[in-house]
């Protein structure tokens, strides 16, 4: 990269990264945004601790704190990193992360999986996560979710489900959710209220379900940029025009 990033988007699932691209693009109009991605094979064990240290290895090259942003388990990773290395983090923004930050769609999936086949369970979760879709889109989304089950950092399985006790975040913190997200519902989102510091924020998107940042990228970007601007009132986010390096957008998933 020609310039050190202002913002790091944390991605822990290659198959779900397509849903983050519209929001990343809009943020990149105002800030320098980089993508940090964790990948693993089906034979590797998921380790949040290892991911935190890999992220630290990457951020050693940044000589100033950065804004971290992540959806679901990406947000959980940012939370764990911020608690361990707060001096490296300018702010943390998490999307669809409830007060029990470990809960993701896979945690819900494994509750239902013993009672249905994988295909029927995935089909049901396409509706839960995305609402009604056309048949060809349902099949495509089922494939994406299946890939996420196989190769993401989610700490859940048929045999165990992780829970993380809530506590205050030691850096400026914003948590975003959707009013019709059944994975991280309004109660789970507003459970953070007891742990917020002065200046921290909770914001709910009117719609969009679990991937509200895909369906409402402009609205979400405006809220996040407003939060960042509030942290440095003497600076205007508008002057920080940069772009994501080599970011290729694909907003045609539903076309």
Higher pLDDT, 248 or 65: 65
Evaluate if residue 102 carries a pLDDT over 70: yes
pLDDT in tens, 212-229: 999 999 999 999 999 999
| Number of neighbouring beta carbons within 10 Å of residue 245 | 14
84, part of any domain = yes
How high is the pLDDT of residue 41? Answer: 64
Give the span between the Cα atoms of 93 and 87, in whole angstroms. Answer: 16
228's CB contacts (< 8 A; 6+ apart) are 31, 67, 91, 237
Mean pLDDT taken over the chain = 88
For 81-104, what is the mean pLDDT? 97
138's CB contacts (< 8 A; 6+ apart) are 123, 126
pLDDT in tens, 185-209: 999 999 999 999 999 999 999 999 9
Evaluate if residue 245 carries a pLDDT over 50: no
**Helix, strand, coil % in the chain, rounded to nearest 5:** 45, 15, 40
Of 3, 1, 6, 12, nearest to 90 by C-alpha is 6
79, part of any domain = yes
Of 57, 100, 53, 105, nearest to 76 by C-alpha is 100
184, part of any domain = yes
For 51-62, what is the mean pLDDT? 93
Confidence of residue 3 (pLDDT cuts 50, 70, 90): low
Domain span holding position 186: 7-102+163-239
119, part of any domain = no
Q: Which contacts (CB < 8 Å, 24+ apart) does range 136-141 have?
A: 137/253, 137/254, 140/253
Distances, alpha carbon 174 to alpha carbons 86, 128, 192, 205, 225, in Å: 15, 25, 10, 13, 11
249, part of any domain = no
Residues forming a β-bridge with 202: 175
pLDDT in tens, 114-128: 899 999 999 999 999
Cβ distance 153 to 13 under 8 Å? yes
How deeply is 180 buried, as exposed, middle or buried, from its count of CB atoms within 10 A (0-12, 13-18, 19+)?
A: middle
How high is the pLDDT of residue 200? Answer: 97
Cβ distance 170 to 86 under 8 Å? yes
How many distinct structural domains can be found in the chain?
Answer: 1
CATH number, domain with residue 83: 3.40.50.1820
pLDDT in tens, 9-36: 999 999 999 999 999 999 999 999 999 9
pLDDT in tens, 30-48: 999 999 999 776 556 668 9
pLDDT in tens, 141-187: 999 999 999 888 888 665 677 788 899 999 999 999 999 999 999 99
Evaluate if residue 109 carries a pLDDT over 80: yes
How high is the pLDDT of residue 140? Answer: 97
Evaluate if residue 52 carries a pLDDT over 50: yes
134, part of any domain = no
62, part of any domain = yes
Instruction: Please report, to the nearest 10 degrees, the dihedral formed by the alpha carbons of residues 47, 155, 122, 137 taken in order.
Output: -50
- Please report, rounded to a whole number, the percentage of residues in the chain having pLDDT higher than 70: 85
Give the span between the Cα atoms of 129 and 109, in whole angstroms. Answer: 11
Give the span between the Cα atoms of 46 and 62, in whole angstroms. Answer: 26
How high is the pLDDT of residue 45? Answer: 61
How high is the pLDDT of residue 163? Answer: 82
133, part of any domain = no
Give the span between the Cα atoms of 19 and 111, in whole angstroms. Answer: 24
């Amino acid at each position: 990269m020609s310039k050190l990033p202002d913002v790091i988007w944390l991605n822990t699932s290659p198959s779900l990264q397509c849903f983050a691209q519209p929001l990343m693009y809009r943020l990149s109009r105002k800030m320098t945004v980089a993508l940090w991605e964790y990948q693993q094979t089906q034979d590797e064990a998921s380790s949040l601790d290892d991911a935190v240290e890999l992220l630290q290895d990457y951020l050693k090259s940044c000589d100033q704190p950065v804004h971290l942003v992540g959806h679901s388990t990406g947000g959980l990773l940012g939370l764990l990193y911020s608690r361990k290395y707060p001096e490296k983090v300018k702010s943390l923004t998490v999307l669809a992360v409830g007060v029990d930050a470990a809960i993701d769609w896979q945690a819900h999936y494994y509750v239902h999986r013993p009672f249905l086949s994988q295909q029927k369970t995935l089909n049901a979760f396409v509706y839960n996560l995305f609402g009604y879709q056309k048949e060809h889109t349902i099949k495509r989304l089922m494939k994406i979710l299946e890939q996420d089950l196989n190769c993401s950092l989610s700490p859940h399985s048929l045999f165990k489900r992780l829970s993380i006790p809530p506590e205050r975040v030691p850096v400026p913190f914003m948590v975003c959710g959707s009013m019709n997200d059944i994975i991280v519902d309004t109660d789970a989102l507003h459970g953070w209220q007891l742990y917020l510091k002065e200046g921290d924020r909770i914001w709910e998107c009117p719609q969009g379900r679990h991937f509200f940042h895909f369906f409402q990228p402009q609205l979400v970007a405006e809220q996040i940029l407003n939060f960042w601007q509030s942290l440095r009132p003497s600076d205007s986010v508008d002057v920080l025009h940069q772009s994501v390096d080599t970011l290729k957008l694909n907003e045609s998933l539903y076309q």
